[in-house]
Structure 1
Amino acid sequence: MSSFIEVQNAEMVFTTKKGRFHALREINLGIEKGEFIALIGHSGCGKSTLLNLIAGLTLPTSGALICDNKEIAAPGPERAVVFQNHSLLPWLTCFENVMLAVERVFGAKESKAQLKARTQAALELVNMAHAATKRPHEVSGGMKQRVGIARALAMEPKVLLMDEPFGALDALTRAKLQDELLKIVARTQSTVVMVTHDVDEAVLLSDRIVMMTNGPAATIGQILAVDLPRPRNRVELAEDPAYMHCRKEVIDFLYTRHGHVEKVAA
């Protein structure tokens, strides 16, 4: 039986002014429906490139990507992307930014009242209904990111793709949004693929952690199953032996087996 998302022997080679750059090689990955996958690795290991391939923003040089038994050949509303930069339109309110996506996906099928109800529900899901009439410059970085997540969820995507969505936020705001995301995913049963540099974030949120080898020609070095029951509580997990084991596995991979960062620091 095939997985909900399948990456089959994908290769990615970019043509640059300096010549060909081999970003990814022999990527094979199956993701099940409702699964939360974290992609982790050092800078330049192709995490975002792999995410862009799943999003359909980039097409592989060779190999194939399949979602729900259909080849991924272009971006589509069934695969919503949340970037590190919230990408909100500054002249629109928070409500209007979400409404724009809702109209794009459901505008031909639903009434204006239904579209507004969808938008309102998405803002409520991320606790941003109170800021519906504010413009992006009037809210904090964490609140902007919540609106970006609301916009993605409002499209009712089959897959939520997140490229370091909390990377630019302070530690406290990041922790709050991670906890919020855990609740949202539990409610929506979304399939999520998230790029992160944060080991604790990967262990806290995901069902499996896909660890990438160093680039160029990066590939999947190890996949770790995170066998922690849900719902997850970060305070309770802090001293959980299974949590500590997963954390150590990822750190060993990143800094021992693929640890050029530490060698440079020395």
Structure 2
Amino acid sequence: MIAFEHLTVRYRTAQKEKNKTTVLDDISLTVPQGTVCAIIGPSGCGKSTLLKAAAGLIKPAEGNVRLDERALDPKKDCIGFMPQNYGLLPWQTVRENIVLGCRIRKNWQDGREADEARLQGLAQKLHIEDLLSRYPRQLSGGQQQRVSLARSFLLRPDILLMDEPFSALDAITREEMQDVFLTLWQEQHVTTILVTHYVEEALYLGQKIVVMGAKPGRIVRVFENPLSGSSEKRSTQEFFTMGRNLREEIRRISRGEEA
């Protein structure tokens, strides 16, 4: 379980400014163990900032982030982070990029049978077993995304933070990668927070959906989503109606009309 407790983040918008802008205001949210929480809202509402605070990249002005009833510690806890640009190092091969996180955590050893078996198993599931010696520049966007997913799931993190990971892909590839993610997630059930600006993606992947508002960033609504993870329900009238309502709510929030 990951919990945000009265989290407030402030920063200066310019170096010469004395006053700080409140980016996130009194965020309290609990994501149960082994679930996917999708965060959606208008641009500028602090979605990515919330992920960075969870990853320990930003120090909050107030409040804290807890993991299983204790303060989250990025030095001790294993955190998987997937940025929008996939986070691949261009001078390293696909194989080197995949094992990078494990090497940083010092839980990888080249040639160790169990480690190599896990790597090969993930590569096969993601259909990148023939790409391990290539470099990121030699891959398509979808292939780079598969490498990023392989690195995250090879790590077996305590929590996985995903910042609009599929946004740079075309619509068809994006849907394919959503299914790939679900297949891997169903094996590990890692607690995941997914930031997205696609309504359908939030409905398909998020068991819990958080709608945020801006200026300052705050939680407007949280609801459980019974439609997540089902490709059959994705084509139903219920899914379409829920997506339309969620999209309209985000428009109202953008116009400052929420209650």
Is TM (by shorter chain) over 0.5? yes
Instruction: With the length of structure 1 as denominator, give the TM-score of the two structures.
Output: 0.88
The corresponding residue for 1:252 is: 248
The corresponding residue for 2:153 is: 153
* Paired residues, number: 254
Q: In the alignment, does 2:123 pair up with 1:123?
A: yes
- The 5-angstrom pairing of residues 211-230 of structure 1 reads 211-214=211-214, 216-228=215-227, 230=229
Distance 1:58-1:74 versus aligned 2 partners, 3 A rule: farther
Aligned partners of 2:144, 2:251: CA distance in 1, in Å?
A: 33
Aligned partners of 1:122, 1:77: CA distance in 2, in Å?
A: 22
- The 5-angstrom pairing of residues 176-191 of structure 1 reads 176-191=176-191
In structure 1, what residue type is equivalent to 2:142? Answer: G
- The 5-angstrom pairing of residues 1-266 of structure 1 reads 4-17=1-14, 18=17, 19-74=19-74, 78-107=78-107, 112-214=112-214, 216-228=215-227, 230=229, 232-233=230-231, 236-241=233-238, 243-256=239-252, 258-260=253-255
Partner SS for 1:130? coil
Aligned partners of 1:40, 1:248: CA distance in 2, in Å?
A: 14
Distance 1:152-1:39 versus aligned 2 partners, 3 A rule: same
The list of structure 1 runs, each at least 4 consecutive aligned residues, that deviate by more than 3 angstroms after superposition, is 73-77, 106-115
Partner SS for 1:166? coil
Partner SS for 2:20? strand
In structure 1, what residue type is equivalent to 2:67? Answer: C
In structure 2, what residue type is equivalent to 1:146? Answer: R
Aligned partners of 1:95, 1:53: CA distance in 2, in Å?
A: 29
Does the CA contact (< 8 Å) of 1:123 and 1:129 recur in 2?
Answer: yes
| Displacement after TM superposition at 1:11 (Å) | 0.4
Does the CA contact (< 8 Å) of 1:77 and 1:105 recur in 2?
Answer: no
Residues 5-29 of structure 1 show CA distances to partners (whole Å, capped at 9, x for unaligned) of 1110010010232441110101000
Partner SS for 1:42? coil
Does the CA contact (< 8 Å) of 2:94 and 2:131 recur in 1?
Answer: yes
* Identical positions, percent: 30
| Displacement after TM superposition at 1:190 (Å) | 1.4
Unaligned runs of 5+ in 1: 262-266
Does the CA contact (< 8 Å) of 1:207 and 1:226 recur in 2?
Answer: yes
Distance 1:69-1:127 versus aligned 2 partners, 3 A rule: farther
Aligned partners of 2:223, 2:155: CA distance in 1, in Å?
A: 30
In structure 1, what residue type is equivalent to 2:66? Answer: I
| Displacement after TM superposition at 1:176 (Å) | 0.6
- What's the RMSD between the two structures over aligned residues? 2.2
In structure 2, what residue type is equivalent to 1:14? Answer: Y
| Structure 1 range deviating more: 196-205 or 125-134 | 125-134
Aligned partners of 1:108, 1:254: CA distance in 2, in Å?
A: 43
Aligned partners of 2:47, 2:75: CA distance in 1, in Å?
A: 18
Partner SS for 1:16? coil
Aligned partners of 2:188, 2:118: CA distance in 1, in Å?
A: 14
Aligned partners of 2:237, 2:218: CA distance in 1, in Å?
A: 30
Does the CA contact (< 8 Å) of 2:102 and 2:108 recur in 1?
Answer: no
| Structure 1 range deviating more: 197-206 or 70-79 | 70-79
In structure 2, what residue type is equivalent to 1:116? Answer: E
| Displacement after TM superposition at 1:77 (Å) | 5.3
Partner SS for 1:23? strand
| Displacement after TM superposition at 1:34 (Å) | 0.8
In structure 1, what residue type is equivalent to 2:243? Answer: R
Aligned partners of 1:67, 1:154: CA distance in 2, in Å?
A: 21
Distance 1:155-1:77 versus aligned 2 partners, 3 A rule: farther
In structure 1, what residue type is equivalent to 2:2? Answer: I
